[in-house]
A and B are shown apart, each in its own frame.
Chain A
Amino acid sequence: MVRLTHWINVLVLTLLLMSGLQIFNAHPRLYWGSYGADFDHAWLEATAHDTPAGPRGGLRIGDLSFDTTGVIGVSPGPNGPLARGFPTWATLPSWQDLATGRRWHFFLAWILVTNGLIYLVAGVLNGHFRRDLAPTRRELSPRNLLASVVDHIRLRHPTGEAAKRYNVLQKLAYVGVVFVLIPGMVITGLAMSPGFDAFAPWLTTVLGGRPSARSIHFIFANLIVLFVIVHVVEVFLAGVFNEIGSMITGRYALPREHGQ
């Protein structure tokens, strides 16, 4: 059950991210506080401007500006460069269509929540959280954490019986995604809804206002993308066929001990 929810999540989170970028593109600026529109200070914005050498796209975060022509701000379209936050290949649908992006996003959000609840119930009932995810006190000791960091940097993966269990950094990353980032996405999403805000105004207030909730939503989405990149790289490093096989079937062939 947990494995099935994982693969549903892969699909749903991918499409949520892409429809989310479509929504972001409708107003590619982020603010802190209880209001934020064109005349207010944005802490992050995608920019586009014409130069003698052609249109240039940029990303400004605080006082730092980056030329991101081709990807953010200005990117290729079917008939030449387009001024848009994220490029066509990253958004759902590819073309600018906020209404359709929202349909996808809110449809998928219900699936994410349903799938997430099934995962949580299954994870509690079958002991997955307690057995596999909860780090032990010994694992959380500074020395063990440091050792795990060093192992990761040296790309040294456990072998034998140890490879069957999640290591401590892996556990912390999974716990962070399962109990902080994904619930955080749902909560900040709800806080942006004017209807839900009328029901629970304290939630939006605690998050610092609707523009802040939108900023946190964006940051958390980026952290999930970062997690996925590391996660996929680690799966490849650890032996892609064995890992993906185990992620689908639950069977895992133990890697041979070094020197064997």
Chain B
Amino acid sequence: MSRLILSRRRVMGAATASVAGLMLDGCNRLSQAPRFQDAIGKATDLTQTSQRLLLGGQPLAKEFSTSQLSPVFRANGSVMPASAAYQSLMEGGFADWRLAVEGLVRQPLWLSLDQLKAMPARTQITRHDCVEGWSAIGGWTGVQLARVLALAGPLPQARYVVFRCADDLGGTGDASGLYYESIDFFDAVHPQTILAYAMNGQPLTVAHGAPLRLRVERQLGYKQAKYVMRIQLVDRLDQIGGGKGGFWEDRGYAWYAGI
């Protein structure tokens, strides 16, 4: 009798272990199936729809005081774009740098840093939330993206704003590795969506994206494109880069980074 119970326990234990092993193996296989990835990724659409409902009144992300700044703000991703073109701009103090605004606009723009600084500025101290889980609080000064877009005059069919960057984070040495990001007009016209040229009261450093980086508060760190060279208005994202709307999006991360 006791042997029977023992073997019954053993069978239970072995069964539990093999069910767990099978389940883990099955989940790993599912994780590699693109169709399954797409299917569970649909939950992000639900998250986006829900959050957009909640954020319909375009509330501001929480702003902090200077006493709450992170003592050291971690510089992440690229910290020094290697291209000769960027290096030469940097050596010239970005005097020759121009921001191109093009695509589905009535009036393409070609703006210098001084022109951007001459526009009304917004300063905000916000929390930067990395997808990895860390957070840092920094102060950003720049021009609202909505003002720049208004100058260019978006055409009615424009749906997305794409930011083309100078850093080759993919390390491929060609355009395929260049960082890029995109947002839609819901976030583009938000008052806290700015093109920042200063951080914590100082000109933006190279490590943090000089001469210009995007701040799109309410979304994660990978949306905050650094080294912005060109802004492109488009009606679809599938013909740009890997087709998912951004460098990290092309590598599996969600386009909507509100969570």
Contacts and interface: CB of A to CB of B under 8 A. Distances in A.
A31 B241 CA distance: 36
Interface residues on A, range: 35 or more
Contacts of B24: 89, 92, 94
Nearest to A232: B16
Interface SS majority for chain A: helix
Contact of A40 (B42, B44, B71, B132): B71
A22 B59 CA distance: 32
A198 B218 contact: yes
B220 interface: yes
B54 interface: yes
Interface residues of B, number: 51
Contact of A196 (B60, B136, B217, B258): B258
Most buried by A among B24, B61, B131, B133: B133
B27 A92 contact: yes
Nearest to B44: A106
B31 A35 contact: no
A197 B192 CA distance: 14
Given A27-B132, A94-B24, A99-B251, A198 B47 contact: no
A107 B258 contact: no
A194 B217 contact: yes
Given A196-B51, A197-B61, A198-B218, A37 B74 contact: yes
A32 to B, nearest CB: 12
Interface stretch (A123-131, A170-178, A204-212): A204-212
A204 B61 CA distance: 11
A196 B259 CA distance: 8
A103 B37 contact: yes
A136 interface: no
Interface string B223-259: 0000000000000000000000000100111100111
Contacts of A102: 131, 253-254
Nearest to A189: B259
30 contacts: A14-B23, A29-B134, A35-B70, A35-B127, A37-B73, A37-B136, A39-B70, A92-B24, A99-B248, A100-B31, A103-B44, A104-B27, A104-B31, A106-B43, A107-B40, A110-B47, A194-B218, A195-B47, A195-B51, A195-B54, A195-B259, A196-B258, A197-B218, A198-B55, A199-B51, A201-B62, A205-B62, A210-B127, A211-B135, A240-B12
- The 7 A-B pairs of least Cβ separation, nearest first, read A195-B258, A99-B252, A107-B40, A39-B72, A37-B134, A107-B43, A93-B31
